Amino acid sequence: MEIFVEVARLRSFSEAGRRLGLTRAMVSKHIMQLEDKLQARLLHRSTREVSLTDVGQAYLEPCMATVAQAREAAQVATGAREAGGQLAGPLRIQAPSSFGGMWLADAVARFSLPHPQLTPLLYVDDALLDPIEHGFDLTIRVGGIPDSRALAMRPLAPCKGVLCASPDYLARAGKPAAPEDLAQHQCLHFSHLTDGATWHFSQGERRTSVRINAAFTANNGLVLHQAALRGLGIVYSTTFLACEALRDGTLVPVLDDWELPLNYLSALYPASRQPSPKVRALIDFLVAEYQPVPPWDKALPVQ
């Protein structure tokens, strides 16, 4: 049933196999065995895609509920094993790609060292995945909770925005003196910003918003960071991503006398149950790592 849920979610035998650590042939074999047992066809297969039959669509929702219940039961058993202080078993974590690669992977590795029976699974993706639907124990997200009734949140660290560009780009195009000047510049835009291609600024009591013409758009902060380093334009980045480049001068802050909206890195987990000891321990570890001032902000050059 877990394999069927993954195939239905990903619409791919191969992708489901990679997610579960199985070969494509083994995934196909399990699905055929499930269909034989149910005496019903659950999936349409073609060379290009996999889709649900009507029976498969009806079967998916109760199947997802059963898989979620089984995972919760496993967490109860794992929690009992962890009661003696030794964290053990899988710990499924999802995080944005850039933050996951640059900061979280190292923190999770150091957290895991004293617990050899713990097996973290870190899934990095910039999509706003539902941790309950996708079976994550913990999701790290920039911003708030999409459904506060289903998910609980604990803030981990401030997430500051920063505009920056390469010295080469600014030598060619000039440095904007006010937010309105951005209309004359090449702007590199992160597509997951909630207000679309509108950038908001504040300076004391003053507030202004600018609709930018995005010269380059991506759904991954690291992609935009690389484009900025190459001199393509001004990027709306975060200090956790840009701190090293700002420190070594390969990127230069732009409009740094204006503030961008402050956001937060948050830990999300299902509100319907108490987090397991390993989830609580990891959250506590990350809070200690990132508060009150996260290491990436400590690394910023002094203005």
Eight-class DSSP state of 153: E
Domain boundaries, the chain: 1-83, 86-156+263-293, 161-261
pLDDT band at 108 (very low <50, low <70, confident <90, very high): very high
Q: What is the pLDDT of residue 147?
A: 53
Greater confidence (74 vs 84) lies with 74
- The CATH architecture one would assign to domain 1-83 is Orthogonal Bundle (1.10)
DSSP secondary structure code for residue 50 in this structure: E
Distance between CA atoms of 203 and 192, rounded to whole angstroms? 24
The CA distances from residue 109 to 112, 114, 273, 274, in Å, are 5, 10, 26, 24
Q: Which pair of tokens denotes residue 18?
A: 């990679």
> Is the pLDDT confidence value at 208 over 70?
yes
Q: What is the pLDDT of residue 195?
A: 66
Distance between CA atoms of 189 and 196, rounded to whole angstroms? 9
Architecture per CATH, domain 161-261, reads as 3-Layer(aba) Sandwich (3.40)
- Per-residue pLDDT band for 77 (boundaries 50, 70, 90) equals low
Give the position of tokens 């962890």: 82
Check: CATH 3.30.230.10 for 86-156+263-293? Answer: no
Question: Is 86-156+263-293's fold the same as 161-261's?
Answer: yes
- Average pLDDT value for residue range 194-212: 87
Are 97 and 240 in contact by the 8 Å Cβ rule? The answer is no
What is the residue-averaged pLDDT of the chain? 87
Q: pLDDT at residue 128 above 80?
A: no
Tens digits of residue pLDDT in 40-75: 999 998 877 889 999 999 998 888 888 877 776 666
**Average pLDDT of the residues in 259-271:** 86
124 closest CA partner among 228, 222, 29? 222
> Would you place residue 294 in the very low, low, confident or very high pLDDT band (cuts 50, 70, 90)?
very high
